[in-house]
């Protein structure tokens, strides 16, 4: 859907430069920026957060044997 907005000249210049640096259009850059702002306002899913926290607290089974310094640096 088309819409018109007024941007201050210095901001418009910054948008043009940023779009050119990213090799994208001003339209795509503005859509990405607006989506990022709106996504940041969306509260995280409490079930997913709890599940991730449980996995972190459980840890990972790595054979229960610590690696030696040489093993770590050999990777």
Domain ranges of the chain: 9-73
DSSP state for residue 72 in the 8-state scheme: H
Q: What is the DSSP string of 5-52?
A: ----HHHHHHHHHHHHHTTS-HHHHHHHHHHHHHHHHSPPPHHHHHHH
- Is the four-CA dihedral 3, 11, 41, 22 of positive or negative sign? positive
Mind listing the pLDDT tens digit for each residue in 32-67? 999 999 888 877 778 888 888 888 887 776 666 777
Q: Is 19 exposed, middle or buried (0-12, 13-18, 19+ CB in 10 A)?
A: middle
Claim: this prediction has a pTM higher than 0.85: no
Residue found by looking up tokens 């702002």 in the block: 37
């Amino acid at each position: 859907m088309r819409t018109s907005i007024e941007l201050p000249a210095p901001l418009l210049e910054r948008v043009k430069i940023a779009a050119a640096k990213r090799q994208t259009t001003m339209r795509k850059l503005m859509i990405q920026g607006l989506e990022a702002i709106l996504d940041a306002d969306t509260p995280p899913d409490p079930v997913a957060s709890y599940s991730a926290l449980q996995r972190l607290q459980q840890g990972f089974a790595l054979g229960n044997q610590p690696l030696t310094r040489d093993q770590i640096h050999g990777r």
